[in-house]
A = this chain, B = another copy of it.
């Protein structure tokens, strides 16, 4: 595989970890961030102290706050901005986007207002550009440290998926291709809400039996919605479904899980959001899920309780225990809900 020039848009944990991975593989990496002051600080310190502390960014990684400079002549463009900034950044990209450069979204989430997936937003602003998505159990802290990771890369264009797979794959970063773009994106987005619920379970001290049951039912409800939205059910048995849900829900570092844990212990959403520089994607995705569940007429008891706790000040203990202790029914009835 030849050496490529790769523009990564977004200097958060995800974008920075992919920059380290690709730079380590010998590609020429440009990492773009929206804030010139922060980029200047990164250039001096070579450590992304806010979003990925403790890891050195080699000099070979170019840092820039100019989007046109980042993407000029790039062979691949990676979108790694939080979902809240995805649409505006995609629009800025459209202004300097030329021709047929592959664009890979590593963003997990659903736009709060338009309810669109990242690849749908890219389609809207870039037309028929070659588009793919990357998702799966991929905590940035572990990728940055070379821990073994296996992810899913999806595109309707199989050849594009195969080419991008070759760009990313290393002995410890394995990439499986997939054609279910909607499933891979929805798994990565919706699991963050269940990850918050799993954290609440931890914060309330309910135990591992309860947490495992909650994750089982959580996976079932996000799959129900996703299938209704066009995803394939089997994708949720894979890396971008259960795999990603697991790493989000079991890792002590998972920010969605940790936010849920703090709320389970009695802190308010406002306090939790104020305590971190990181984006808690699940909080914003939760609003989108609430709207999607209504639009598609899907019952999502866990996501709905997370919504009530986060935005309607419902008591977490009452809500989570109510979820666990509903009337007995058969497993298949539960699934038919």
Contact = CB atoms under 8 A, between A and B. Distances in A.
Nearest to A174: B328
Contacts of A272: none
A147 interface: yes
Nearest to A207: B147
A81 to B, nearest CB: 21
A171 to B, nearest CB: 5
A254 B211 CA distance: 14
A152 to B, nearest CB: 6
Interface stretch (A31-39, A54-62, A121-129, A237-245): A237-245
A152 B247 contact: no
A217 to B, nearest CB: 8
Given A171-B325, A219-B242, A242-B219, A139 B176 contact: no
A82 interface: no
B238 A331 contact: yes
A94 B215 CA distance: 39
Contact of A150 (B152, B171, B178, B209): B209
A212 B246 contact: yes
Interface size class of chain A, counting residues whose CB lies under 8 Å from the partner chain: 35 or more
A148 interface: yes
Contacts of A149: 207, 209-210, 213
Contact of A148 (B176, B206, B242): B206
Contacts of A251: 208
A325 B174 contact: yes
A250 interface: yes
A208 to B, nearest CB: 4
Contacts of A321: 148
Contact of A237 (B137, B178, B220, B238): B220
Contacts of A210: 142, 147-150
A148 B324 contact: yes
Given A139-B209, A212-B247, A237-B237, 11 more contacts: A136-B213, A142-B207, A147-B209, A148-B206, A148-B321, A150-B213, A172-B325, A176-B331, A215-B246, A234-B335, A238-B335
